[in-house]
Structure 1
């Protein structure tokens, strides 16, 4: 089976060719008319189209260019949400690379499996701390536990939560890596609460990048695609429990307006998502690592399957009327 990078390149190049062919029939005529009105030679329009297309294909097909790496020894990372999912996997991955990891866990004080597994590593470089990102007191206590010296060269990987730039200690010369989602760039049916939270992470990360530039802090956003199977974030039991609660607590008028058949149809759709997506979180870990260790990290990373990447480009760059017709 072809590797994912090869499949991605093949699909994206095919997409670019298809898009060029579709636009090629009408766009040149339109641009030629505009160029003629402006007094420019008509041939220059065709040359420009070919040039833009060549640059696009080159951008899609070119592998990530190495941009130098920082020295890992003596560096620390502070990670939230390490009980499970991306946070847990990131903590173990970065520890393996040689970082000192401060792993924030919501359920450390309850001895849940995720935090317990990290503590059982019994490593001086794996420090598990109690952290509810919605509690200002716990956030302040966790940051203080890192130590003032460590804070100034620490990388902060925030998997969730809302915070302000005061949570990043002044004088820091490190990085902030926020985990968002492809749904921070585009909406989808039945995803409104999730999309709202991820759009917020995207907007906040942009603001934080501008605000912290004066201190040399670089801010990156990771936008994973569908990793439901890999992270176990959504299961059939969760869908069933949530669906039962939603329907039971809905006012009679709402139940009558929507109808049980409509509700059941959408819940069946949610159950179908439980077995979808990539099974390995390694693409996300690789991008987080690049954001942390590269001398010139990207602003945004898109670890996702090719068809999701194409959909995100269509929904964020083409008119909404086209995207809506294609996907909804």
Structure 2
């Protein structure tokens, strides 16, 4: 969708320019539009084909126990890049499999991104891995957790826990490793979400963190321009089935805990039937989405290796891209109507 979006934008620009010149009787609309459209497409694809040399460059990735982080670590290793794969449990299944499948360029590191002491230890270890001549070219903020619930259902402790990982954890990791990235004039890539652009019922606890990361990334991108550091945001669609971030077990366990923590007035207002019905829908969502994460790996690689990376990448299907476009550019009443028709009535 990213390349289609870029081409579509420049075609619109070409159409406006051709119309203006035609109104001034300076040129034929068809000839001008065709020429400008072909030129813009050529330039777009030419710039997208330019890549940096990856040999000798190392990328640090958080959240490599499973999902996008795990797959990206192996993918970049196969491309010949150095990889520091940070896992919440370095001795768990994900960490062990990375050691078995990866080459000597892939290093598995223990890192809870909410732990200041582990971050300090990770920085020292990365410097040791890099040695005197290595460079930390890329940082991929991927570690995240998620849950669900209406605003009145979710405890403040849950909001804080999710924010500590998804938002403050990512910010802290960035601040810790940014001096090394800045020195290399490298890349900071953050895993956002379509849900950082689209709000949804029962989604506030996760979505507030992704909306906030959008702002953080935009600020960082502008601040890093003078230093030659490129900053990108990845906004995947629904790949729930391809990751372990939101499983049926998580839905059931958290659903029971959330109901128990709710006060009697809220329970009575919503009712157990309504609550259980939404829990079943969340279970359905936990099994939905694209199980193949290769589309996400492609854009992550582009963000890390293209000479001119985009500020945002949108690996998602056309339906979600359309919903996100409307939510971003249209009045709320139109965005809500589109969301109700294309998501709520089909899912809820």
**TM-score, normalised via structure 2 length:** 0.74
1:155 alignment partner, one of 126, 138, 142: 138
Between 1:113-122 and 1:290-299, the stretch displaced more is 113-122
Q: How does 1:176-191 map to 2 (within 5 A)?
A: 176-191=188-203
User: 1:288-308: CA deviations, max 9, x gaps?
Assistant: 000011000000000001100
Deviates more, 1:241-250 or 1:74-83: 241-250
| Matched-pair contact (CA < 8 Å) for 2:74–2:102 | no
Verify the 8 A CA contact 1:67 1:296 in the aligned structure 2: no
Query: How far, CA to CA, are the matches of 2:208 and 2:132 in structure 1?
Result: 36
Task: Identify if the C-alpha distance between structure 1 residues 122 and 227 changes in structure 2 by more than 3 Å, giving closer, same or farther.
Answer: closer
TM-aligned CA distance change 1:266 to 1:122, over 3 Å: closer
Which of 186, 189, 207 is 2:219 aligned to? 207
Distance 2:232 2:277 in 1: 38
User: What RMSD over aligned residues (CA atoms) do the two structures have, in Å?
Assistant: 3.3
Structure with max Cα Rg? 1
Equivalent residues in 2 for 1:135-150 (5 A)? 135-147=115-127, 149=132
Ranges of 4+ aligned residues in structure 1 off by more than 6 Å: none
Provide closer, same or farther for how the CA distance between residues 286 and 122 of structure 1 changes in structure 2, counting only shifts above 3 A: closer
Aligned runs of 1:54-65 on 2, under 5 Å? 65=46
Measured at CA, do residues 122 and 95 of structure 1 come closer, stay the same or move farther in structure 2, by a change above 3 Å?
closer
TM-score scaled to structure 1, two decimals?
0.79
8 Å contact from structure 1 (residues 172, 215) kept in 2: no
Aligned partners of 2:300, 2:102: CA distance in 1, in Å? Answer: 24
* 1:76 is aligned to 2:58: yes
* Distance (Å, rounded) in 2 between the aligned partners of 1:150 and 1:247: 54
Residue segments in structure 2 that go unaligned for 5+ positions in a row: 12-22, 25-29, 144-168, 341-348
Q: Where does structure 1 lack aligned partners over 5 or more consecutive residues? A: 17-42, 45-49
Residue 292 of structure 1 pairs with residue 300 of structure 2 = no
Aligned to 2:79: 97
Instruction: Tell me the equivalent position of 1:230.
Output: 242
Instruction: Give distance in 1, aligned partners of 2:234 and 2:241.
Output: 18
- Tell me the distance in 1 between the aligned counterparts of 2:279 and 2:73: 34
Are 1:113 and 2:93 counterparts? yes
- Of 269, 272, 286 in structure 2, the residue corresponding to residue 274 of structure 1 is 286
Distance in 2 separating the partners of 1:196 and 1:139: 24
The verdict on how the C-alpha distance between 1:149 and 1:184 changes in structure 2, with shifts beyond 3 A counting, is: farther
Count the aligned residue pairs: 289
